[in-house]
Each structure stands twice: as structure tokens, then as C-alpha cells.
Amino acid sequence: MSWDTFRLWIVLFGWPLLAGGGVYILYTAFSFSQKIKQASLGKFIVATNTALVLTMVCLGVVASFFLFLSPSEISVAVVAPIFAVWVFILVRIVFLSQKWSEEAVSLNKEFQLTKQELERRVKKRTKELRLSLANNQALVQSIGEGLIAADTKFRVELVNPRAQDMLGWGSSDLVGNLIGEEAPFIVDESGAQLELKKTPSYAALLSGKKMTLGGASEQTYYYVRKNDTRFPVAITATPIMLGGKAKGVILLFRDITKEKELDRAKSEYISLASHQLRTPPLALKWNAEILLDTIDKKQKKTRKIVEDMEEISEKMLETVGALLNASRIELGTFIVEPIPVDYREIAKSVLAEFAPQICSKALVVKKAFDKTIPSIPADPALAKIIIQNLVSNAVKYTPKKGGITISIHTRKGAGGIRLSVKDNGVGIPKEAQKHIFQKMFRADNVKDVADGTGFGLYLLKSIVAFAGGKAWFKSKIGDGTTFFVDLPKKGMQKKKGTSRLG
């Protein structure tokens, strides 16, 4: 092919083909951008195809310039493949653009349908959530108990109207406050503010379990109102769990003033009744003792009847005494006159009192006392009741030839002392453990093992709480129980009253 002929082909076919292909590419791009609804994708396609057309035009201009500048067979050999590439690109684009355009449009339709369905579902779910939120808000507003919600940093987030009415604080006064350390305040009977670490909200978040504080039959705690008055309160703290982790805590509390008044009236009645009930068994015991001194030892049957009478009267006196002690603690009428007390000496005297029972059951008693124990201010009678109840429990519920270990150690760091009594008795069932310090409670598995009033551990816990200490236990069925008592070095505080415990 001559040079002139080739140049004629370029003029007649090359540039029209290039121009027509470029126009088709741009038409396809704009057409595709109109069919889809994603503006960014349409702009990208148009821009890409425009760049492709401009590249082709520039390539044609350069090739033509080179061809006209150097007309030779070498130039023809160089330019011919370029035009062949143009033709290939055009044919390929024509084929693929149609195919991709149809696929893209189809995918776009599916995407739009999916998007519309998702939007419909989101709107529906949003409506449901708003309705649920409105219901929850209405529920919170209508709760008859005070409600306070806090986050994981113990900052108040929500206070319902009932809580605001009870406390005298508005929502704006409380939201953002550190619960337990800033308003609202929790105080004990002495008026001392409860530390954050001792609040039920702290325990609930730490353990992930529901916690309670206060109650008509437990140690009394109070919420302090804005006007500095206070009211007795029962608090339940429930952690807000999400994915196994606590995300906050909700406090429900109620004013238990009426319950406390009722409980006090009951205690006063029990105290009065117990005083009246004390006289008959006491007279029965004295008469039985007199009769035993006059009955001949040969009259075994008669003597046995009188001995049973004496034993029954002693049990009645024990029960009446326990009732009196419980009512004095609840009414706050007991006397406390502290002096420096060595708990090791009290423990030794208590073990001497229980020596007959210990010997009759052939129990092995071990003492583990620190060589140096600080003397702690305490009322000797109350200190003795603490150890008596610890030892009494161990002796009662430990089988014959069993073992008991009584320990008294100095508490390192915190100061004060720790008492513990360990036995290898029947143990306390798991379901009964939460009730063990309640008044008149006895676990089912010990009712046939030994007699008891159900007041011993209640008195122990009450006295230890009064002294600012802590009482707890560890137990396993068939493996015995260990009771622990921590007493602070400051000891018991002096208290006026009308009667002594004992």
C-alpha cells in the first residue's frame, strides 16, 4: 500500500471511526448515569469514559502528526497497529458496555429495593422503639417506689418523680452526682455517712448480682433529705447487665418508717410479755431445785420427773432471755459500758462454761491465739455473748468425737482483731445460708440434731454491727462451718439504757 493510499484510508475511515467510537462511549456513559440513582457512581463512570475518549483522541493526534511529519514505510508500520488498537478498543467497549450496563442497572434495581425495604424496617423499628421508650418512661414515672439509675462510674443518670418527692431533691440536683458520696446521702443509725464501697450499688456492680440494704428487721439505714431530715429506707440495687457485663445499676428504695414503728411496737410487746413470762419458769426452776434437795435418791422415778421439770424450766428461761435480749437490741434500750477487754480471757472462760457439754461429746478443742492481742474497749457482757454464741453453735452441731478450733488473731493493716470458730459438724445448706443471721431462723437439717432458740446468731450479728464490726461464715454440707467476726480497734462506744443484755 502506497503512502498516499494509507493516508487516504486514515482520512476516510480512521478519524471518523475514532470520532464515532468516542461519541458512542460518551453516550453510553451518560445513558448509564441516568439509569442508576447513585450520583457518585454515575459521575465516576462519565469521568472515566471521558478520560478514555480524550486519551484515544490524543493518541490519534500524535499518530497522525507522526505520520504526516515522516511519511515513510516505517511510519506506516508504526501507525497501522495504533489504528488497529483503536478498532479493537471500540469493538470491545461496545460489547462490554452493553453487558455491564444491563448488569449494573439490574444490580442497582435490586439495591434500591433492598434500600427501600431497609428504610421501611428502620422506620418501623424506630416507631416501635419510640413506643417502647414512651412505655418505659411512663412505667418509671408511675413506680410507687423511689428509683435512681446510675452508670458504671456511680454517677446518677435518672431519678423518678417518686424519688424526688421522698428526697426533696429535684432531678437537676441529683443527676451527675456520685451516688452514696454526694446527694442523696445514706447514713447509719449514728448519722455516719456510708462510704461508696459499702453501698449496695457498689456491691451490685462489683458482683453482677442484686443486693439489698436495710429492712424492718435489719440494721437501719437512712436517706437524708434536702432539708437535713432523714427517713429509714430499704434499698434494692440491681445491676443492668448487657453481654454478661454490668453497664449500670438501678436502685429501688422505699420509706420503711411505718414498718419500723410496727416492728418497735412488736418489740415493746415482746419485751413486756417476756418480763411477765419470765416469772413462772423461774419459780418452777426454784421449786424443782428445792424438791430435788428433799427427794430421796432411791425415788428414781419421782426424781426424774423433777429433773425434767428443772430442764424444761431452764429451756423456757433461755428462750425468754433470748426474746428479752432481742427486744432490748431492737428498742435500743440496752446499756453499754466499755472497758479494755482481752478476748482471749473471755474465750477461755466461755470454754470452761461449756466444758461439761464438750466432755460429754468427747470433742477435741484447739485454741489458736496470737501471743499478743490488743485490748479492745468492749462491754464484757456483750463480748461474752459474741463468743458464747460462736462456741455454743459449734458444740451443738458438731458430732461426737468431732473437732472445734477457736482462733483469735490481730488483724494486720486494718487493726482490731478477728475471732473465728471452726467445726466439722453438719454444715449449713446453701438455700438456708442467706437466712442464717435472721431472728428465730434455724436450718431444717439441724432441728433434729440439737435444740435452739434461733436467736443466738441474730444477737451476735446485732452486737457486732453495733461495735462497727462484721460477722460472716463459710460452710459446706457435711464439712462443717467456720464463723468469723471482725472487731475494730476502736471497740464499742458507751451507751446509756435501761437494762443489760445477758
As a whole number of angstroms, the distance between CA 281 and CA 311 comes to 10
pLDDT band for position 457 (cuts 50, 70, 90): confident
As a whole number of angstroms, the distance between CA 168 and CA 76 comes to 100
**How much of the chain exceeds pLDDT 70, in percent?**
70
Least confident span in 121-125, 193-197, 297-301, 335-339: 297-301
Range of the structural domain that residue 438 is part of: 339-487
Compute φ and ψ for 328, nearest 5 degrees: -65, -40
| Claim to verify: residue 343 and residue 483 sit in the same structural domain | yes
| Claim to verify: residue 231 and residue 169 sit in the same structural domain | yes
Segment 68-90 mean pLDDT: 60
Least confident span in 230-234, 367-371, 412-416, 446-450: 446-450
Compute φ and ψ for 369, nearest 5 degrees: -110, 135
pLDDT band for position 12 (cuts 50, 70, 90): low
Q: What grid cell was written down for 276? A: 411477765
| Claim to verify: residue 186 and residue 79 sit in the same structural domain | no
CA-wise closest residue to 442 among 400, 387, 396 = 396
Number of domains in the chain: 4
pLDDT band for position 407 (cuts 50, 70, 90): very high
Most confident listed range (111-115, 350-354, 395-399): 350-354
pLDDT at residue 188 greater than cutoff 60: yes
| Residue 334 domain-assigned (yes or no) | no
Most confident listed range (65-79, 94-108, 312-326, 358-372): 358-372
Please name the residues in contact with 116: beta carbons below 8 A apart, sequence gap of 6 or more: none
pLDDT at residue 334 greater than cutoff 90: no
DSSP structural state of residue 495 = B
pLDDT at residue 229 greater than cutoff 70: yes
Please name the residues in contact with 87: beta carbons below 8 A apart, sequence gap of 6 or more: 17
Q: What is the CATH number of the domain that holds 215?
A: 3.30.450.20
| Residue 427 domain-assigned (yes or no) | yes
As a whole number of angstroms, the distance between CA 360 and CA 52 comes to 109
Q: What are the tens digits of pLDDT across the range 260-294?
A: 777 766 666 666 666 666 677 777 778 888 888 88
Stated as kind and residue range, the H or E segment containing 419 is strand 417-423
pLDDT at residue 3 greater than cutoff 60: no
Inter-residue contact 338 to 492 (CB < 8 Å): yes
**How much of the chain exceeds pLDDT 90, in percent?**
12
| Residue 133 domain-assigned (yes or no) | no
pLDDT at residue 419 greater than cutoff 90: yes
- Cα distance from N-terminal residue to C-terminal residue, the chain: 133
Q: What grid cell was written down for 298? A: 432411791
CA-wise closest residue to 163 among 236, 227, 232, 252 = 252
Please list, residue by residue across 184-202, b when 16 or more beta carbons sit within 10 angstroms of its beta carbon and e when fewer do. bbbebeeeeebeeeebbbb
| Residue 397 domain-assigned (yes or no) | yes
pLDDT at residue 154 greater than cutoff 90: no
What pLDDT sits at residue 340? Answer: 92
**Beta strands 403-410 and 364-369, pairing class:** parallel
The number of C-alpha atoms within 13 Å of 215 and in the hemisphere containing its C-beta is 8
As a whole number of angstroms, the distance between CA 176 and CA 185 comes to 14
The pTM for the full model equals 0.52
The number of C-alpha atoms within 13 Å of 213 and in the hemisphere containing its C-beta is 23
Domain boundary among 122, 156, 186: 122
pLDDT at residue 41 greater than cutoff 60: no
**Amino acid residing at 91:** V
CA-wise closest residue to 154 among 91, 121, 88, 198 = 198
As a whole number of angstroms, the distance between CA 15 and CA 351 comes to 119
| Residue 128 domain-assigned (yes or no) | no
Domain boundary among 305, 329, 353: 329
Which ranges of 295-445 would DSSP assign to H, the alpha helix?
Answer: 300-331, 343-353, 355-360, 380-397
pLDDT band for position 473 (cuts 50, 70, 90): very high
As a whole number of angstroms, the distance between CA 423 and CA 405 comes to 7
Query: CA dihedral in degrees (335, 336, 341, 343; nearest 10)?
Result: 70
What pLDDT sits at residue 344? Answer: 92
| Claim to verify: residue 355 and residue 281 sit in the same structural domain | no
Burial of 151 (0-12, 13-18, 19+ CB in 10 A): middle
Segment 109-129 mean pLDDT: 79
Q: pLDDT averaged over the chain? A: 77
| Claim to verify: residue 306 and residue 361 sit in the same structural domain | no
Q: What are the tens digits of pLDDT across the range 306-315?
A: 888 888 887 7
pLDDT at residue 56 greater than cutoff 90: no
Query: CA dihedral in degrees (133, 139, 143, 147; nearest 10)?
Result: -10
As a whole number of angstroms, the distance between CA 303 and CA 354 comes to 25
What pLDDT sits at residue 280? Answer: 77
pLDDT band for position 346 (cuts 50, 70, 90): very high
Residue with C-alpha cell 417502647? Answer: 132
| Claim to verify: residue 482 and residue 346 sit in the same structural domain | yes
| Claim to verify: residue 16 and residue 117 sit in the same structural domain | yes
As a whole number of angstroms, the distance between CA 64 and CA 396 comes to 116
| Residue 180 domain-assigned (yes or no) | yes
Q: DSSP letters along 156-221, please?
A: EEEE-HHHHHHH---HHHHTT-BBTTBSSEEE-TT-PBPPGGGSHHHHHHHHSS-EEE--TTS--E
Segment 132-160 mean pLDDT: 76
| Claim to verify: residue 180 and residue 46 sit in the same structural domain | no
| Claim to verify: residue 7 and residue 117 sit in the same structural domain | yes
Segment 153-181 mean pLDDT: 85
Domain boundary among 329, 353, 369: 329
Compute φ and ψ for 439, nearest 5 degrees: -65, 130
| Claim to verify: residue 99 and residue 170 sit in the same structural domain | no
| Claim to verify: residue 282 and residue 394 sit in the same structural domain | no
Burial of 376 (0-12, 13-18, 19+ CB in 10 A): buried
Q: What is the CATH number of the domain that holds 370?
A: 3.30.565.10
| Claim to verify: residue 393 and residue 343 sit in the same structural domain | yes
Q: Would the CA dihedral through 209, 212, 213, 219 be positive or negative?
A: negative
